[in-house]
Amino acid sequence: MTNILAIETSTDNCSVAVSNGEKIYNFHESLPKQHTEKLFGIIHDILEEGELSFKDLDAVAVGIGPGSYTGIRLSCAVSQGIAYANGLKGLAIPSLELLALETHKKTSSELVVSIIEASSDKIYLGESSFSEGNIESKFSLLYKDLFSVKNYPSSTSFVGQGCGHFLGIENELLEEFPKASSLIEITKMRKKFDALQDPETFLPIYLTDEDSWQKLK
């Protein structure tokens, strides 16, 4: 599997990437409230840049949040449509895991904790372990008061907007936006373990959607 289309629009940034073999073509730009208007054109342009058509794709990957209602709903619907129309499977990946991979590449930490504020007293928590070229993650919705840095080894890296103003710990990434290129990397990792999913599982997680988040456990 070498040709993967990836879409991540859980934030103000619109991130689309496609791999053609080992080469990855990227679009990553801040487009507040413009995802609906511009996403289809961006997908067309990135496929053209990679010299690919929809029929050349092997899989689709989508970031499912937590994040903005409009952005995640759009990326999931578009990804499902492309997958169904072309007989493809893919991966629906929580955006916290994308932040974890980007942080791991920067810090080489074997454990990365990703945090997004869910409400005034709760956080979405992702704990991602890296070993032998693979990533394993678990997720939870946690009361802020139950979180403690002391529960993790000193070598742990922390990332996400829930770190700084919410928990008062250092955020390893200054740019806190998940990238579609990380979707491609994780999809290639998971393909080795036959983890690709049917498009009906490409379901969004909104910032206040506790039920969907619990299903990921």
The reply to whether 64 and 132 lie within a common domain is no
Counting every residue written for the chain, the total comes to 217
How many domains does the chain divide into?
A: 2
pLDDT band at 137 (very low <50, low <70, confident <90, very high): very high
H/E stretch holding 203 reads none
CATH number, domain of 31, equals 3.30.420.40
pLDDT at 64: 94
Q: Is the pLDDT of residue 217 over 50?
A: no
DSSP string, 28-57: EEE-TT-HHHHHHHHHHHHHHHTT--GGG-
Find where tokens 């103000």 sit.
Answer: 12
The reply to whether 130 and 84 lie within a common domain is no
Q: Is the pLDDT of residue 161 over 90?
A: no
Grouping H, G, I as helix, E, B as strand and the rest as coil, residue 140 is strand
Output the CA–CA distances (angstroms, integers) from residue 80 to 85, 169, 190, in the order listed: 8, 37, 19
Mean pLDDT over each residue of the chain, to the nearest integer: 88
| Mean pLDDT, residues 23-40 | 91
49 domain residue, yes or no:
yes
pLDDT at 215: 46
pLDDT for 62-115, tens place per residue?
999 988 788 899 999 999 999 999 999 999 999 999 999 999 999 999 999 998
The reply to whether 109 and 63 lie within a common domain is no
The reply to whether 111 and 162 lie within a common domain is yes
Domain with 146, as residue range(s), is 96-167
- Please tell me the pTM assigned to this model: 0.87
pLDDT band at 190 (very low <50, low <70, confident <90, very high): confident
The reply to whether 87 and 15 lie within a common domain is yes
Q: Is the pLDDT of residue 184 over 70?
A: yes
39 domain residue, yes or no:
yes
Q: Is the pLDDT of residue 48 over 70?
A: yes
Residue 192, C-beta contacts closer than 8 angstroms, at least 6 positions apart: 134
> What percentage of the chain carries pLDDT values higher than 90?
59
163 domain residue, yes or no:
yes
Closest CA to 112 of 98, 123, 92, 133: 98
- Angle at the Cα of 31 (from 27 to 34), degrees rounded to 5? 110
The reply to whether 115 and 154 lie within a common domain is yes
The reply to whether 186 and 158 lie within a common domain is no
Q: Is the pLDDT of residue 216 over 80?
A: no
172 domain residue, yes or no:
no
The reply to whether 90 and 181 lie within a common domain is yes
The reply to whether 147 and 205 lie within a common domain is no
The reply to whether 14 and 84 lie within a common domain is yes
The reply to whether 80 and 23 lie within a common domain is yes
Residue 55, C-beta contacts closer than 8 angstroms, at least 6 positions apart: 86
The reply to whether 26 and 63 lie within a common domain is yes
